[in-house]
Amino acid sequence: MRLDKFIVSTGKLSRSEAGRAARSGRILVDGIPEKKADRAIDPEKNDITLDGELLTYRKFTYILMNKPDGYISASDSGRETDPIVLTLLPDELQRIGLFPCGRLDKHTTGLILLTNNGALAHRLLSPRHHVAKRYYYTSKFSLTEEEIATLQEGVTLEDGYVTLPAVIEQQPGATEGYITLTEGKYHQIKRMLEAVHNKILTLERVTFGPLTLQGLPRRGDWRYLNDEEIRQLEAHGQSPLT
Residues annotated as catalytic are 105
Q: Could you tell me the smallest distance in angstroms from the CB atom of residue 227 to ligand URA?
A: 28
In the bound state with ligand URA, the residue whose beta carbon lies nearer, of 108 and 182, is 108
The SS3 assignment for 8 reads helix
Q: Could you tell me the smallest distance in angstroms from the CB atom of residue 125 to ligand URA?
A: 13
Considering the rule CB under 6 A, would residue 219 count as an interface residue with ligand URA?
no
- Burial of residue 215 (number of CB atoms within 10 Å: 0-12, 13-18, 19+): exposed
Q: Could you tell me the smallest distance in angstroms from the CB atom of residue 65 to ligand URA?
A: 14
Report 104-123 residues binding ligand URA (CB under 6 A): 104-105, 108
Q: Could you tell me the smallest distance in angstroms from the CB atom of residue 185 to ligand URA?
A: 8
Site string for ligand URA, 156-195 (x = CB under 6 A): -------------------------------xxxx-----
Distances (CA, A) of 115 to 53, 194, 204, 224: 25, 32, 20, 10
Query: Count residues contacting ligand URA (CB under 6 A)?
Result: 8
In the bound state with ligand URA, the residue whose beta carbon lies nearer, of 2 and 190, is 190
C-alpha 131/C-alpha 139 separation (Å) is 24
Task: Convert 140-177 to b/e letters by CB count within 10 Å (16 or more is b).
Answer: eebbeeebbebbeeebebeeebebeebebebeeeeeeb
In the bound state with ligand URA, the residue whose beta carbon lies nearer, of 12 and 187, is 187
- Enumerate binding residues for ligand URA (CB under 6 A): 104-105, 108, 187-190, 203
